[in-house]
A and B are shown apart, each in its own frame.
Chain A
Amino acid sequence: MDVGTLAFSALYQFGDAFAFLVLSACGLAVIFGMMGVINLAHGEFIMCGAYVTVSATHAGLPLPLSIALGALVSGLVGVLVERVVIRHLYTRPLDTIVATWGLSLIATQGTLILLGSTLAGVGTPFGSFQVGGYSYSVYRLVLFGAAVAVLVGLYVLFNATRFGVMARATIQVPHMAAALGVDTRLVYSLTFALGAGLAGLAGGLYAPTMTLVPTMGTTFIMEAFVTVVVGGADVFLGTAPAAAVLAVVKATMTSLYGQLFGQIGLLLAVIIVIRVLPRGISGFLLRERA
């Protein structure tokens, strides 16, 4: 294998890991960064998105529309969950973990009871291409593009729209925002829905590449947690660089020792990072800037 193909292979692995980390973490990161709530049912929102996507595809909808539908349905479920449960717990962040954990149990087992142990999947679209004798899936490149698009989209949403301004005001000083006429409850509600919708999007995007089982959420949450912990509370200064750093760790460990050691490498990385930078990368960057 010459240097060019080796470099391409490494880059491809990195892009794949980066996309996975960004997509699985961004919903969690938005909710945590904006509201200080860790949504342990995050994996189940991903599962919800994946199930809706696949069902819609089976019903004859084209895949991109199905993915959008999956994200939308997850977002709506997010609104419901926020209204019924999360809203009452904003002053007790530890309790939100416990409550969303309960929701996750209900969702996983409920799906198992209602829809059975597995759902027939849809094939990965677009086929593959060859570089230097190795074949690569085109869809992985689409996923990388989607991850970048999600980051750009979030940046625009929070920095260039009215909702973004109100949301940022609400995070900084909720009472002042409320006094200035921002409906903070609505902002929280929409933010939670956004996070849930992003989780659904991740589920929809990865649905063609995975087996659909009720516990599929657990495949994502470890990576999502790790990225959010390393990144800290800010989506742009935290999640994106954290995903980039962790993607290097994950891609290297995975290609050298296999999938599991990729995860173990991530875990060791996070434990070391929190010892050195307790507030995550964004905490570090923000302190430097201040």
Chain B
Amino acid sequence: MNALLRFFRRLEGPQTLGRGPGFWIGFLVVLAGACAYPVFSDGYTVGNTVYFFTWIFMALGLSLIWGYGGALSFGQTAFFGIAGYSYGILTINFGAAYGFTLVAVVLAMAVAALFAVLLGYFLYFGRISGVFLGIVTLSVTLVLERFMAQTAGPEWKIGAARLNGFNGMSNMPPLTVPWPGGDIVLFPDVQLYYVVLGLLVVVYLGLRILVNSPFGNVLVAIRENPERAEMLGYDIRKYQLGAFVIGAALAGLSGVLYTSWGQYITPSSMGMTAAALPIVWVAVGGRSDLTTTLVGTVVVLSVFQALTIHGSQYALVVMGVLLVLTVLIAPNGLAFAAAGLIARLFRGRRAASPAGDA
């Protein structure tokens, strides 16, 4: 009982913003709003909202790797693609009966995580850090995209699943929950919305517990000063590899949800542009905290979506400008910059008022 209590107490701690009843009441209000949202909307719009939600897992994973662990990785989209394709291959071959799609989700995430273990072993145990980590992960992502893009021929198939090159893979079954009295097929609609929302809450709270645990504290210590963390006796390679693999698994979850959402995945979901977007979402909101990452991702995605509707070709330019400006003006993200600004205003007023009285 006590251990359980201690476990849940880690929902708040030094590594996460937001604590106390105020924050959690706000959290519940937002959650209640999110739960009530489908009531005020139609199935189609709700289905599109799910599309936003699928990306957030990947962003949270990047926040863990980059924001908490201090290792900039461009590999998130690679794991996204690997898991997406794995899901497609598995479900096209074995079908959706007996809840196999749910098994496929876990297997696809495991494939992505396994790939991350392999890649991460070479990177972290080779003590690659800083800028090199970024460019090696980016190279891996690009080569993977090119590899998938050339699989158009009929010889590229795994079982019944054709890889289909640039046209991408399609017609995999959506997530299906076995249910007495008929399976529930999760098309992009209200039901899928609740499933993904539930997953999101679980992942968000789980990550909060993780980063406030000893693991998270060591990870932040490594970000702040790797040598010091090592001198204190921690094997920093294992911690960074751990964060990398968890982040990759979350990117994999995004990939699986995306693939089952649209029943479609293409190599361009791993390309240059695709690899840039998670960086934008995470950097703009504030990468070093889960909550700011989550909020930032939702906001940036909404802006991006709105731009895509009204002037599609300028959307990417705006994203680029946003990224450059964020780095130049608010390196820790807009949320932290805004908080800093407000704090300074208040402090300024407080400092000014005694002088005014005198």
Contact = CB atoms under 8 A, between A and B. Distances in A.
Interface of A: 32, 36-38, 40, 85, 88-89, 92-99, 101-106, 108-110, 112-113, 215, 218, 221-222, 225-226, 228-229, 260, 263-264, 267, 270-272, 274-276, 278
A272 B283 CA distance: 31
B27 interface: no
A76 to B, nearest CB: 19
Interface in B21-77: 70, 72
Given A104-B320, A229-B132, 12 more contacts: A40-B138, A85-B328, A99-B328, A102-B323, A105-B273, A105-B320, A218-B272, A264-B147, A267-B140, A270-B136, A270-B139, A274-B122
Contacts of A102: 276, 280, 319-324, 327
B126 interface: yes
- For A101, A108, A275, the residue with the greatest tally of chain B CB atoms inside 10 Å of its CB is A101
A97 B128 contact: no
Contacts of B201: none
Nearest to A226: B139
B177 interface: no
25 contacts: A38-B135, A85-B324, A88-B328, A94-B134, A95-B327, A96-B131, A97-B134, A98-B72, A98-B323, A101-B279, A101-B323, A105-B316, A105-B320, A105-B323, A222-B139, A260-B150, A264-B143, A267-B140, A270-B136, A271-B123, A271-B136, A272-B122, A276-B126, A278-B126, A278-B128
A89 B327 CA distance: 9
Contacts of A275: 122, 125-126
A112 B317 CA distance: 10
B106 to A, nearest CB: 27
Contact of B324 (A103, A110, A263, A272): A103
A264 B149 CA distance: 14
Contact of A271 (B122, B273, B279, B323): B122
B65 to A, nearest CB: 12
- For B123, B127, B142, B324, the residue with the greatest tally of chain A CB atoms inside 10 Å of its CB is B324
B319 A222 contact: no
Contact of B72 (A89, A94, A276): A94
Contacts of A270: 136, 139
A105 B317 contact: yes
A93 B119 CA distance: 23
B272 A106 contact: no
Interface in B293-325: 313-314, 316-317, 319-324
A63 to B, nearest CB: 29
Contacts of B272: 104, 108, 215, 218
Interface of B: 70, 72, 119, 122-123, 125-128, 130-132, 134-136, 138-140, 142-143, 146-147, 150, 271-273, 276, 279-280, 283, 313-314, 316-317, 319-324, 327-328, 331
Contact of B136 (A89, A97, A108, A229): A229
Contacts of A112: 313
Given A89-B327, A102-B324, A97 B139 contact: no
Contacts of B138: 40, 225
A274 B130 CA distance: 13
A93 B131 contact: yes
A113 B324 contact: no
Given A102-B324, A103-B324, A104-B320, A267 B125 contact: no
B320 A106 contact: yes
B317 A106 contact: yes
- For A85, A228, A278, the residue with the greatest tally of chain B CB atoms inside 10 Å of its CB is A278
Contacts of A89: 327-328
Contacts of B279: 98, 101
A206 B271 CA distance: 23
A229 B146 CA distance: 20
Contact of B146 (A92, A93, A263, A271): A263
A36 B322 CA distance: 24
A67 to B, nearest CB: 26
Contacts of B271: 218
Nearest to A28: B135
B21 to A, nearest CB: 37
A214 to B, nearest CB: 11
Given A93-B130, A110-B317, A112-B313, A229 B135 contact: yes
Contacts of B313: 109, 112-113
Nearest to A271: B122
B311 to A, nearest CB: 10
Contacts of A229: 132, 135-136
B316 A267 contact: no
A95 B280 CA distance: 12
A106 B130 contact: no
Nearest to B71: A94
Nearest to B72: A94
Contacts of A267: 139-140, 143
Contacts of A106: 316-317, 320-321, 324
A99 B323 contact: yes
